[in-house]
Amino acid sequence: MFEDSVAILAVLFLIVGALYASVGHAGASGYLAVMALVGIQAAVMRPTALSINVVVATIAFAHFWRAGHFSMRLFWPFAVASAPAAFLGGTIQLPANPLKMAIGIVLLLTAARMAWTALRPPREPKEPRPPSLPLALGCGAVLGFVSGITGTGGGIFLSPLMLIMNWAGMKRTAATSAAFILLNSIFGLVGVASQGWRPSPALAVLALAAAVGGWVGAAYGSRRAAPLTLRLLLAIVLLIAGAKLVA
């Protein structure tokens, strides 16, 4: 468990929560990276990340929704398909080594995505076009299942997909991702709990720390541009942690 490392984890969770919430994310991949670097057991990492996700995603969504960036019309097709898929993914318990490999790949993909968004040259903006209903449903189902089985909310995959496909602008993407992460994290956590997981008392301390960071980051990010330099620095941390798990 993580009781012996709760102090350092709380500080790092606060920082991760602030960075991720500034772009509408809850920070699961960051929490996974931090726990990997500290040496937390892989089986504990997934439910811990999902639990913290629920708290921070709620805060991030509230800020972006209040700022007027959320669109239910854009969100609901992803949500309808992702929720049951996230629950199904949460019920699947992989052996320790495959789970470490899966989490490591998620972290490496996240690092690549963050580096790409930080380093790419600016482009001429185009009018966003939402996806078709079948495409949104299919993407929601796949990303929901991946989020449940890996312990992430799926936003690290949904956000770059929405931006690359020009389905929404940055702020609306952040709002949609926050709601998507919240929904998938809840259903994924229920799936994990159905297999016998019970939270540790130390989880409340980590949730509080991440919530404070998430509140600060979401308040900043819902009104201003995302901190691209910080994303690049965080990508380096994710790269190191992901490479450690995969290797």
pLDDT in tens, 101-113: 888 888 888 888 7
Least confident of 56-65, 67-76, 143-152: 143-152
Least confident of 31-40, 52-61, 82-91: 31-40
- Assign 123 a pLDDT band (cuts: 50, 70, 90): low
> What pLDDT is recorded for position 51?
94
What is the rounded distance in angstroms from the CA atom of residue 86 to the CA atom of residue 90? 6
Residues 30, 186 contacting (CB under 8 angstroms): no
> What pLDDT is recorded for position 241?
78
Tell me: pLDDT of 177 over 70: yes
Q: Which two tokens stand for residue 238?
A: 């994710």
Residue 87 half-sphere exposure, CB side, CA atoms within 13 Å? Answer: 9
Q: Which of 95, 199, 83, 234 is nearest to 147 (CA)?
A: 83
For the chain, the average pLDDT equals 86
- Please report, rounded to a whole number, the percentage of residues in the chain having pLDDT higher than 90: 40
- Structural element, H or E, at residue 166: none
Residue written as tokens 């309808």?
80
What is the rounded distance in angstroms from the CA atom of residue 134 to the CA atom of residue 142? 12
- Assign 156 a pLDDT band (cuts: 50, 70, 90): confident
First-to-last alpha carbon distance for the chain, in angstroms, is 22
What is the rounded distance in angstroms from the CA atom of residue 174 to the CA atom of residue 162? 10
> What pLDDT is recorded for position 40?
86
Residues 27, 21 contacting (CB under 8 angstroms): yes
